[in-house]
Amino acid sequence: MQTSGAGFTTEELGGVLRQYNIGKIQQILPISAGNRASPKLILVTEKGKFLLKRRPKGKDDALIVGFTHTVQVHLQKKGYPVAGLVPTHEESRTALTVNKRTYELFHFIEGVRCDGSPAEVIEAGRQLALFHTNLADLESDWKPIRQTYHDASSVRGHLRLIRSDKQPRPDGTVEKNHDLRKTADLLLTHYNHSSTAVNAMGFDDWNAQIIHGDWHPGNILFADHRLICVLDFDSVKMAPTITDVANGVLQFSIVGVRPNPAEWPAYLDQAKMTQFLEGYGETNSLDEAMLRSLPDLMIEIMIAEAVLPIAATGYFGHHSGLEFLQMIHRKCDWIDENRDVLIDAIFH
């Protein structure tokens, strides 16, 4: 069976593209980055440039896809910067199912990743606020997921699996297994403490609405320091907006030195943290309790994002699970020890 690149067969690609009215194909360019379970291709045609995506199994459920598409269409109608879904030519659907696999076709947006400059970090915060504002009035028949990284039994379960003898041990030795168990226990203590603290601040009473769920530099594109496209809607859900803000603050302020997480510093970039919040605050305001919850929510999300792949494989990407979790623990310790400094910066 011939392949057309990036995980698509020639037969598969032909069957999919026949469903769209995008003109004659001039060039097909594979994209190697991203989730291997969700291959993508750039299609250059006589009618423009498009991005074809095959959704991964488990995220191709009709309810999930229907809701994410409802969100994107709603934002596009309001003039918010999204790529824009391309409908099929026969049934005008934005999700195509062929042989039990689901495909999406987007207009391709030329842009660059965030350069970390103050202007772009502020813009990232501003656009997250506008994202929330534009979705505050969305009513949909689709029922979005409500679970977040906060106070999640799944996070605790993954930490317990990591410390158990049932978890994969790619780096093998008894000594390292002991260190992994110890680090998992320390992270569980951090997670439980932060979850309790956020709940005490009133989390259950904070209004929930549709949020992005994965707001980070890799999911937004810029041109001339202006955000021109928001990507990846697979994590949209119902939750208090502060959970999105906390993720954004963390993702834009975290400091990493490649390639070895053992060498990553513990501190956060406080300037970027305040820049992101400055941008968000230009459009939306957050009450004092929500802002005070940010250090603990950042601790929770750091732990939550790390534990799922490590519980499943023993690795985070190509990084050792032990070294990556030890790095997360150092950063959690730093946030906990410097929370007063961070709170002062947040309210500055």
* pLDDT tens readout for residues 103-150: 999 999 999 999 999 999 999 999 999 999 999 989 877 777 788 999
| Segments of the chain assigned to CATH 3.90.1200.10 | 118-346
Q: Does domain 3-107 correspond to CATH entry 3.40.50.10420?
A: no
Per-residue confidence band for 165, with pLDDT thresholds at 50, 70 and 90: low
pLDDT number for residue 130: 98
**Secondary structure letter of residue 213 according to DSSP:** S
For residue 262, how many C-alpha atoms fall within 13 Å in the half-sphere facing its CB? 5
Q: Which helix (H) or strand (E) holds 180?
A: helix 174-200
pLDDT number for residue 90: 76
Per-residue confidence band for 168, with pLDDT thresholds at 50, 70 and 90: low
Q: Which of 1.10.10.10, 3.40.1180.10, 3.90.1200.10, 3.20.20.60 would CATH assign to domain 118-346? A: 3.90.1200.10
pLDDT number for residue 64: 86
pTM: 0.92
Rounded Cα distance between 141 and 145, Å, is 13
Per-residue confidence band for 1, with pLDDT thresholds at 50, 70 and 90: very low
Number of Cβ atoms within 10 Å of the Cβ of 148: 24
| Segments of the chain assigned to CATH 3.30.200.20 | 3-107
DSSP β-bridge partners for residue 5: 8
Residue 340: both structure tokens together: 């007063």
Regarding predicted confidence, which is higher, 6 or 344? 344
Residue 124: both structure tokens together: 């990232």
